[in-house]
Structure 1
Amino acid sequence: MTRIPPVAPEDASFAVRLAYRAAAKMVGEVPEPFAVFAHHPKLFFTSLTQEFAAGKASTTLPVSVRELAVYRVAWTLGCSWCVDFGTMMQRLDGLDVDRLKDIGEYETSTKYSDDERAAIAYADAMTQSPDVVTDEQVADLERRFGRAGVVELTYQIGLENMRARINSSLGITEQGFSSGDACRVPWASSTPV
């Protein structure tokens, strides 16, 4: 149960209901963070805009590198919603989700490439508080992915740190995106979106 209840469609503004429908069409259910954010419509639409724009703009890195770094942040911070959603996104991107079981041993697992390991290590360094990113680490990433790739990776890791911390703080947990289970949003079984 979230610490702040989700806004049900019948209690949402027309614009928020439209966003709910679009989100449900894209991922099969209304993401619970959206439904909680709907209590503050300006931040709801700010968040939607940021997510959409970041997704469209993030095309420099290989998808597996970006998605694994983001997943590692969610896993490290313990955001079950982000882990659930991230697993689904990797599956939809055609990536091998079985290797996510080895994310805790990424340094030695043969399931990850050197580029993926470097990105995951960077995610770890950025997620610590304070961060422990080194000049050498950034230089290595720049050799691998170019400057735009480093900026994209940094942005995506920072964005996931924000998402995971918000979701965990608000008590937002997994919805079953990765397993195909029914959504936990309270109105999912009773009211069409």
Structure 2
Amino acid sequence: MPRIPGVATKDAGPVLRLMYRFARKRFGAVPEPMTVSAHHLKLMIAGGRHELAVQKASKVLPPNVRELAVYRVAQQLGCSWCVDFGTMLQRLEGLDIERLQQIDKYATSPSYTRQERLAVAYADAMSTSPVSVTDEQVAELRKEFGERGVIELTYHVALENQRARFNSALDITDQGFTSGDACRVPVPADATTTA
């Protein structure tokens, strides 16, 4: 259970109920980070708009490259919620999620393309403290993806760092999206359950 319980549907106002309905329709369940963020509705709305805008703007990188880099950040930072949700997103994109089991061997595994290897190595370098990105890495990424591609990749890796650290700090853990058994958060029929 998160350190701050999510806002239950029964306690939600009309705007929040509408947002929960949209999320439930889109993902099959209301993502728990959303229910926790609902305690600060203005920030939750800002975050939701931001996520939709980022999704709409991200058209330069191939989806497999972008999603794999984001997944790697989640895995490296230990955000089980992000790993769970990210795996579901990759599955819905039609990407091969079985190979995620070999991501620690990405540098040598034939399951990964050159582009994917470059993106995962960059995600690793961006997610260390201090950041360990090199000039050579960026130059190689520019040759492969162009400047717009490097900016898009950097943005997504940085955004996933934010998401993973937010979820980890508030102890928001996996919700069952990978298995398709995501709990219905918040549970509308149960007045006492918020997660």
Interval of TM-score (by shorter of Structure 1 and Structure 2): over 0.9
Return the offset for 1:163: 0.1
CA distance in 1, matches of 2:70, 2:166: 15
CA distance in 2, matches of 1:173, 1:188: 20
Per the alignment, residue 133 of structure 2 pairs with 133
Per the alignment, residue 101 of structure 1 pairs with 101
Structure 2: gaps spanning 5 or more residues: none
Per the alignment, residue 82 of structure 2 pairs with 82
- Give the AA of the match of 2:37: F
- Give the AA of the match of 1:112: Y
Per the alignment, residue 48 of structure 1 pairs with 48
Per the alignment, residue 16 of structure 1 pairs with 16
- Per the alignment, do residues 69 and 92 of structure 1 end up closer, same or farther by CA in structure 2, a change over 3 Å counting? same
Per the alignment, residue 35 of structure 1 pairs with 35
Return the offset for 1:108: 1.0
How many matched pairs? 191
Residue 3 (1) aligns with residue 7 (2): no
CA contact (8 A) 2:5 2:36 kept: yes
Return the offset for 1:181: 1.7
1:50-95 deviations in Å (ceiling 9; x for gaps)? 1111111111000000000000000000000000000000000000
CA distance in 2, matches of 1:184, 1:76: 27
Report % sequence identity: 61
Which of 1 and 2 has higher RCO (CA within 8 Å, sep 6+)? 2
- Per the alignment, do residues 186 and 46 of structure 1 end up closer, same or farther by CA in structure 2, a change over 3 Å counting? closer
Per the alignment, residue 113 of structure 1 pairs with 113
Return the offset for 1:169: 0.5
Q: Which runs of 4+ in 1 moved over 4 A?
A: none
CA distance in 1, matches of 2:149, 2:28: 30
CA contact (8 A) 1:176 1:183 kept: yes
Q: What is the root-mean-square deviation in Å for CA atoms of aligned residues?
A: 1.2
CA contact (8 A) 1:127 1:161 kept: yes
**Structure-2-length-normalised TM-score:** 0.95
Aligned residue for 2:47, secondary structure, equals: helix
CA distance in 1, matches of 2:186, 2:155: 32
Return the offset for 1:189: 6.0
CA contact (8 A) 2:69 2:119 kept: yes
CA contact (8 A) 2:6 2:35 kept: yes
CA distance in 1, matches of 2:52, 2:149: 19
Per the alignment, residue 190 of structure 1 pairs with 190
Structure 1: gaps spanning 5 or more residues: none
Return the offset for 1:9: 1.1
Return the offset for 1:36: 0.3
- Per the alignment, do residues 10 and 123 of structure 1 end up closer, same or farther by CA in structure 2, a change over 3 Å counting? same
- Give the AA of the match of 1:134: T
Residue 67 (1) aligns with residue 72 (2): no
Per the alignment, residue 147 of structure 1 pairs with 147
Per the alignment, residue 167 of structure 2 pairs with 167
